[in-house]
């Protein structure tokens, strides 16, 4: 029983570290890619598609473009029909990194829970067998 608890604790720590490492890696890759926005047309097109599909904007919202002294692309705006009217007010989606992080948490949490349940059941079953 103690071995099971120690193993579960170790697994929990490993999973938390893995999630943190993965988020750090994703953020780094997104930053590197975003540096080429407006410079490389294929990167610009991919970011615009990404922003439209995920309803997000830059790394951290519209300010990501302002800090690069670039205009905020249409793909960032919530209301693209009345873009001229709304482009002057804060009508941008949240940053893409936050959006990706939320999606990751949404899909990763059930995996972590199932892993813990599997390990717990496995060790509890093994403990009962012996």
Assess whether pLDDT exceeds 70 at residue 3: no
pLDDT above 70 coverage of the chain, percent: 58
Position 104 scores a pLDDT of 80
1: exposed, middle or buried (Cβ count in 10 Å: 0-12, 13-18, 19+): exposed
Map out the domains of the chain as residue ranges: 2-123
Q: Which of 42, 115, 50, 109 is nearest to 76 (CA)?
A: 50
Calpha distance 85→77 (Å, rounded): 11
Residue 14 has pLDDT above 50, yes or no: yes
Query: pLDDT (tens digit, 9 = 90+) per residue, 82-130?
Result: 665 555 545 677 899 999 888 887 877 666 666 666 666 666 655 555 5
- pLDDT given for residue 89 in this prediction: 45
Q: Under CATH, domain 2-123 is a member of which superfamily?
A: Tetraspanin (1.10.1450.10)
Closest CA to 61 of 29, 28, 91: 91
CA distance 70 to 68: 5
Alpha carbons 69 and 75: distance in angstroms, whole number = 17
Q: Render pLDDT for 32-86 as a digit per residue (tens, 0 to 9).
A: 999 999 999 999 999 999 998 888 999 998 889 989 999 888 888 876 666 655 5
C-alpha to C-alpha distance for 12 and 2, rounded to whole angstroms: 15
């Amino acid at each position: 029983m103690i071995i099971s608890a120690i193993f579960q604790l170790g697994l929990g720590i490993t999973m938390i570290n893995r999630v943190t490492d993965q988020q750090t890696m994703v953020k780094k890759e997104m930053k590197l890619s975003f540096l080429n926005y407006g410079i490389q047309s294929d990167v610009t097109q991919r970011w615009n598609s990404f922003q439209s599909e995920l309803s997000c904007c830059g790394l951290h919202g519209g300010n990501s473009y302002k800090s690069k002294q670039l205009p905020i692309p249409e793909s960032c705006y919530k209301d693209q029909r009345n873009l001229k009217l709304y482009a002057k007010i804060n009508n941008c989606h949240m940053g893409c990194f936050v959006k990706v992080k939320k999606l990751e948490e949404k899909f990763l949490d059930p995996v972590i829970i199932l892993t813990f349940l599997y390990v717990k059941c496995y060790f509890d079953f093994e403990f009962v067998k012996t």
